[in-house]
Chain A
Amino acid sequence: MRMLVERFQGVVFGLCHRMLGHREDAEDVAQDVFLRVFRSLQKWDSSRPFKPWLLTIAANRCRTALSKRKRLPKPTELQIHPSAGAAELESLGLSEELQLALGELRDDYKMCFVLFHQQELSCAEVAKIMQCPEGTVKTWLHRARRKLADSLIRRGVVTDAGFELHRI
C-alpha cells in the first residue's frame, strides 16, 4: 500500500490541487481517493492500466468536492476582484493567474484542461476518464483554452505575455 501511495500520490494530488485550487482541500480529497482505491481495489480489472482507473476515481471525488464547495459561501481572502490595482496584479505570477482563471471555468472545462495539460493525457484517455466522446473533449479543451486566454487578457496579463510573444 505504501508503495502504491508513494508512486501515485503526486499524480492524484496534482489533479486535486489544480482542480480545487486549495492545498488543504486537495490533500483531503487525495486521501479520500486512496482510501476508496484500497476499498475497491478488488473491482479493478488488472487487464487494464491502473492510472486511468485511479484518475477516474480522483476526478469523481474532485467533482463531488467542487459541488459541495458551491453550496458553501466562497472564501473572501482568495478572491481577487477584476478591478484590482496593478500593484496587486503584479504580485501574482503567470501560474497563479492561470490558476485563478481556471477557477472561473465550468467543472467540465476545468477537468478537461487539467487532465490534458497537467496530467498530459491524450484526448482519448481524457474521454475515457470523463466518460464522454472524444470529440466532446476536444471541443471542451479548445473552449477552455479560449476562455482562459480571454480571462488572462482581461486581467491585464496579456501585456506582459504580449511582450513575451514578440520575443518568441
Chain B
Amino acid sequence: MRVSNCTEFEQRLREAIESRASVDEATFCAHAADCDDCRRQWEEYLLLSVAVAEWNSGQPEIDLADAILAQHAFRENEEYAIQPTSQDVETANIATSTRLESRPTVFLQTAKTASDQIHSSRQRYSALAVIASAALVLCSIATLFDPPTVQEQLAGKMPTTSHAVPNRNMTDDEAAGADVEALVRDAGSAYMGLARDAAEVFTDTVAFIPEQTLPTADPTNALGSNSDDSEQSTPWGQELEPIRRDVGQAIDFLFETISTEAEPTT
C-alpha cells in the first residue's frame, strides 16, 4: 500500500515502532526518496534498528546468586545479632515458659518479674504518687459532707422517751392529750425531785442550828441580877423560829401539792 503524504508516513512509521511490526520497505523507501524529512526519519529508523540489535546482543553474562544470598544472610545475621535488653530476655524467658511449664509456675515467674520491676525507682515514685493522690481524693470526699453540730450530737445522745411518740392509731385530739399528759408527768417528776432536795437541805440546816440557846438561872446572880444582861442574851432558836415555821409551811404545801398531782402516775 502506497504512502500518500508525510503525515501518513510518519504515523505508520510510529505505529511500526510501537508495535514492533515489520514494515513494507518498498513503500516507505518510495515516499522517502521524494521527501527529505521523511527520508531522514527513515534513515534514523534503519540506523536505530541496527544499533539496537547490536546493542541487545552485547549483553554481558552475570551470576549474582551467590553474592546476593551471602549478603542477604549477612544482613539477617546482623539484625539477629542485636543484643536484647534484660527486660527482653525476661519477657522471652516467660514467653518460652508459657509453652513448656504449667500455669502456676508461669504466674509465679510473672509475679517475680513484676515485683522486681516495681523496685525500680521510677515505679516506686509512681506508686507513692498514686497513694498520695488517693488520700487527697478521700479527704475531698469527706469534706463534701457537713459534720454534725454539737447540738445535733447532744440531741442524738439524749434519751428519748418512748411515750413522746404518739400512737399512729390515735386521733389528733387523743394524741394532743397524750402529749400534755406526758408533759405533766415529766414536770411532776421534776418538781418532786426538786422538793425532796430542798427539804433535805433545810433539814440539814435546821439540824445544824443549836436546838436551845435559852439562858439558864445563875444562882450567884439571883439577888442582884442586872436586867440589861438578861435582854442581851436572847437565844438563837427563838430568832430563827419564824423562818423555820415559814419554810416548814412551804415544804408542807409543796408535798401536798405534788402528792395530789403525782398520784395518778404512781
B69 touches A99 (CB 8 A): no
Q: Point out the residues of chain B lying under 8 angstroms from A158, CB to CB.
A: 43, 47
Q: State which of A7-15, A50-58, A64-72 sits at the interface with chain B.
A: A7-15
A141 touches B18 (CB 8 A): yes
The total of chain A residues at the interface (CB under 8 A) is 43
Q: Which of A13, A95, A168 is the most central at the interface, judged by chain B CB atoms within 10 Å of its CB?
A: A95
The 10 lowest CB-CB distance pairs between A and B, nearest first, are A149-B44, A5-B65, A161-B47, A98-B51, A95-B54, A165-B46, A95-B55, A13-B62, A34-B68, A95-B58
Alpha-carbon separation in the docked complex, A18 to B55 (Å): 9
Residue numbers of B with Cβ under 8 A of A are 14, 17-18, 20, 25, 43-44, 46-48, 50-52, 54-60, 62-65, 67-69, 71-72, 75
Can you list 21 residue pairs at the A/B interface with Cβ under 8 Å?
A2-B69, A5-B65, A13-B64, A14-B59, A17-B60, A34-B68, A35-B68, A35-B75, A95-B55, A95-B57, A98-B51, A118-B55, A145-B44, A148-B48, A148-B51, A149-B47, A157-B47, A161-B50, A165-B43, A165-B46, A168-B46
* Main DSSP-derived SS at the B contact region: helix
Q: Point out the residues of chain A lying under 8 angstroms from B55, CB to CB.
A: 18, 94-95, 98-99, 117-118
Which B residue sits closest to A113, measured CB to CB? B52
Alpha-carbon separation in the docked complex, A152 to B40 (Å): 13
A141 touches B64 (CB 8 A): no
Residue numbers of A with Cβ under 8 A of B are 1-2, 5-6, 9-10, 13-14, 17-18, 23, 27, 30-31, 34-35, 38, 93-95, 97-99, 117-118, 120, 123, 138, 141-142, 145-146, 148-149, 152-153, 157-158, 161-162, 164-165, 168
Q: Point out the residues of chain A lying under 8 angstroms from B71, CB to CB.
A: 31, 35
B47 touches A152 (CB 8 A): yes
Q: Of the candidates B17, B46, B51, B62, which one forms a contact with A97 in the assembled complex, judged by CB atoms under 8 Å apart?
A: B51
Alpha-carbon separation in the docked complex, A95 to B43 (Å): 17
Q: Of the candidates A13, A17, A149, which one forms a contact with B48 in the assembled complex, judged by CB atoms under 8 Å apart?
A: A149
Q: Point out the residues of chain B lying under 8 angstroms from A27, CB to CB.
A: 62, 64, 67
Q: Of the candidates A34, A93, A138, which one forms a contact with B18 in the assembled complex, judged by CB atoms under 8 Å apart?
A: A138
What's the nearest-Cβ distance from chain B to residue A121, in Å? Answer: 11
Alpha-carbon separation in the docked complex, A136 to B68 (Å): 35
Alpha-carbon separation in the docked complex, A30 to B194 (Å): 120
Known A-B contacts A99-B55, A165-B43; the reply to A145 vs B48 at CB < 8 A is yes
Q: Point out the residues of chain B lying under 8 angstroms from A142, CB to CB.
A: 14, 17
Alpha-carbon separation in the docked complex, A168 to B51 (Å): 14
Alpha-carbon separation in the docked complex, A157 to B57 (Å): 19
Alpha-carbon separation in the docked complex, A97 to B52 (Å): 11
What's the nearest-Cβ distance from chain B to residue A10, in Å? Answer: 7
Q: Point out the residues of chain A lying under 8 angstroms from B58, CB to CB.
A: 93, 95
Which B residue sits closest to A33, measured CB to CB? B68
Alpha-carbon separation in the docked complex, A141 to B48 (Å): 12
B25 touches A94 (CB 8 A): no
Known A-B contacts A5-B68, A6-B65; the reply to A98 vs B52 at CB < 8 A is yes
Q: Of the candidates B48, B56, B69, which one forms a contact with A1 in the assembled complex, judged by CB atoms under 8 Å apart?
A: B69
B51 touches A141 (CB 8 A): no
